[in-house]
């Protein structure tokens, strides 16, 4: 359901669905994984297709899985159908720029928020909780935008530097060591403390429900961008709103991933592939438009950003449903 609202908010011509297989992937060989993926594909064959339902990788699946699904489906159809799944390797029809899409999108919304709040003049500061695909890529782009990232953390702990961290070097460090801990011999800071730092921008990019009624009071940022899904509980949300924090809800902030999945599908359908620059430019356009629409509804209807985003997403689905009617 959430995917449906997210797609509607971004104006992607998609609904939302989810499917899976009960199994123990850790105990399976690659060959078993492949056979399972192919069997599963044939079982759902009549329900998927580039015009019907387009799977993408999720837990325990990756771009290899997508290649198997695409190959199995194509075998049934009789020719290569790359558009049946997204998240494929580039060499079998995937899109350039997909891996960085979510982080790039988060950074874009942060940039727009800074402009709206007129916070961009001085060097704003940021703290990033979670340094996986989303957190690290976002940090990279925040840094490029001239934002001083003062703290980052991962499951092993975090590092803090009031002068700002050298993100490019940090990324290399993490690529080698697998953690941010120990970078530049900085002291380790606890994960939960990262959230409570006095920064302009807070980016929870790890788990859900990290900001609750218990620590919401102590959040001191001006902008909170939800890199993870649901990092703020409903109770905490009210507290943060009352404190006047500008929240960029996950449905908007981390939509970059599905946007580029959509772009992959469009390229596959057109059989015409875009350069990474084109992908990024179109991603920026869609993210920017959605941000602006949320901001306008929020301002005009005097609601918070999260409510505004939902009003747009649900409203668009409802409007289309009414126009099409119930038949038969």
- Positions marked active-site: 18
**Residue among 230, 221, 62, 206 nearest 135 (CA):** 206
What is the nearest approach in angstroms of a second copy to the Cβ of residue 315?
Answer: 9
Contacts (Cβ under 8 Å, ≥6 apart) of 230:
208, 209, 250
Degrees, nearest 5: CA angle 191-171-151: 30
**Total residues found in the chain within this entry:** 328
Q: Are 54 and 48 in contact (CB under 8 A)?
A: yes
Residues 86-105 that bind a second copy (CB under 8 A): 89, 91-93
What is the nearest approach in angstroms of a second copy to the Cβ of residue 58?
Answer: 19
What is the nearest approach in angstroms of a second copy to the Cβ of residue 55?
Answer: 15
d(CA 119, CA 255): 23
Closer residue to a second copy in complex, CB, 268/304: 268
Which span sits near a second copy by CB under 8 A: 46-54, 199-207, 228-236, 251-259?
46-54
CA dihedral angle for residue 32, residue 261, residue 133, residue 225, rounded to 10 degrees: -140
29 lines the binding site for a second copy (CB under 8 A): no
What is the nearest approach in angstroms of a second copy to the Cβ of residue 32?
Answer: 12
SS3 content of the chain, % helix, strand, coil (to 5): 55, 10, 35
Q: Which of 7, 10, 56, 70 binds a second copy (CB under 8 A)?
A: 70
67 lines the binding site for a second copy (CB under 8 A): yes
24 lines the binding site for a second copy (CB under 8 A): no
Q: Which residues bind a second copy (CB under 8 A)?
A: 11, 13, 34-35, 38-39, 42, 45-47, 49, 51-52, 64, 67-68, 70-72, 74-76, 78-82, 89, 91-93, 265-266, 269-273, 275, 285, 316, 319-320, 323-325, 327-328
């Amino acid at each position: 359901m959430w995917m449906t609202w997210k797609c509607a908010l971004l104006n992607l011509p998609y609904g939302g669905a989810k499917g899976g297989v009960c199994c123990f992937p850790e105990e399976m060989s690659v060959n078993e994984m492949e056979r399972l993926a192919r069997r599963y594909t044939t079982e759902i064959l009549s329900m998927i297709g580039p015009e019907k339902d387009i799977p993408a990788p999720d837990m325990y699946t990756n771009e290899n899985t997508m290649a198997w699904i695409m190959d199995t489906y194509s075998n049934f159809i009789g020719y290569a159908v790359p558009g049946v799944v997204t998240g494929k390797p580039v060499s079998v029809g995937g899109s350039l720029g997909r891996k960085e899409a979510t982080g790039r999108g988060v950074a874009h919304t942060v940039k727009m928020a800074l402009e709206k709040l007129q916070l961009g003049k001085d060097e704003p500061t940021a703290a990033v909780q979670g340094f996986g695909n989303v957190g690290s890529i976002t940090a990279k782009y925040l840094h490029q935008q001239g934002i001083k990232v003062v703290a980052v953390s991962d499951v092993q702990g975090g590092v803090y530097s009031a002068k700002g961290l050298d993100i490019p070097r940090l990324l290399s460090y993490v690529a080698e060591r697998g953690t941010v801990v120990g970078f530049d011999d900085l002291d380790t800071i606890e994960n939960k403390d990262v959230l409570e730092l006095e920064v302009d921008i807070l980016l929870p990019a790890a788990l859900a429900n990290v900001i609750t009624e218990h620590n919401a009071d102590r959040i001191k940022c001006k902008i909170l961008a939800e890199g993870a899904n649901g990092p703020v509980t409903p109770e905490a949300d009210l507290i943060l709103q009352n404190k006047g924090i500008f929240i960029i809800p996950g449905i908007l902030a981390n939509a970059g991933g599905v946007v580029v999945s959509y772009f992959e599908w469009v390229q596959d359908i057109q059989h015409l592939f875009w350069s990474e620059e084109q992908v990024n430019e179109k991603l920026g356009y869609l993210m920017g438009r959605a941000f602006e629409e949320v901001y306008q509804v929020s301002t005009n209807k005097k609601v918070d950003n999260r409510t505004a985003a939902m009003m747009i997403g649900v409203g668009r689905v409802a409007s289309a449903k009414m126009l099409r009617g119930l038949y038969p």
